[in-house]
Structure 1
């Protein structure tokens, strides 16, 4: 997995000598795997890694989970900090607002630290779900290109090196490295469209749809 990850990161360069990278770590399997892979990658290049966990304050156990993530990463010798979304939360559109707050807090911290690269743990299934949701909302070519592996936002480059990698592969990697992760209960809630799509995966597969094909479609449309 380390060698494959190095090839994936090479596609996102160039990087400065001794690259400084921040990574958003929710504590889920995807972000924990990305964090450990980045630790190896930055160490091999005499760089540094800062893991950042956003506590949205929306779930009772969120604060404890953020502390647990910090404990796991301290044991791995990874610098870690918790960013909190304070203030009044909206009564509607909370998922979108939480996502915007997360990006804002992460990019603001990167800017304050002078870190150019912010890595996010979106993987192949995330990309496939994004394409399907955008198709359902009538997106054109730009939208159906899915999430970009690299996106320049001004002061920060958003990196998504794991877009070609499956969720199961990342969990296998964590198991092999004896690393636990947090299971977010919202990932099982049918209140969210992505969760409902996952429940339809078997039906879609019988019609020839797969996450690999959807992600490949996004790659080709993104290139177009």
Structure 2
């Protein structure tokens, strides 16, 4: 799951970014509306977390512009403006959620994940391929009824593959969905995670390598 944080506070912005990354999300960072607009135009995000008071204006104006342009990326407004009229204005401009500062990081992470699930697979809280089951809300994975343990990145890659079960998923698509903009597209980070997934999932192998393309998860023959 890939998230964009839009916050100009030099301490709070990096702290939110680090906190969400610790929670297993791929997070990009922008400190102005112009930078956020550019990043949303070139990257696919599952959720945007935006402060309202940015150096170049109120984020509600940008959210409204996105909605008028047909951009449906979920947006959570994170702001100190907590009056009823402020929250109402947020929803009227197209925000999907509104959280008032100060806030608990655990609550922010839960809200962001909920918005991301709504965008990715609103009717599929549980994904299944063969004897492998991935419970998205609880972030638990079982194969043959046995509970498996994965890192946050491994879980994200496995989820991306299972959402497209039977179809090819390129390395570029996995990088875009599961890593942030700091990832080096020439590195072997995807291959390393896939190797770890295969080892932990055990036989028979569910993940098929597609030479020159990427990977596909499928039910064993």
* TM-score scaled by length of structure 2: 0.30
Q: Which has the higher contact order (CA 8 A, sep 6+)?
A: 1
* TM-score scaled by length of structure 1: 0.30
| Larger-Rg structure | 2
Hey, which of these two has a bigger chunk of strand by percent? 2
Hey, which of these two has a bigger chunk of helix by percent? 1
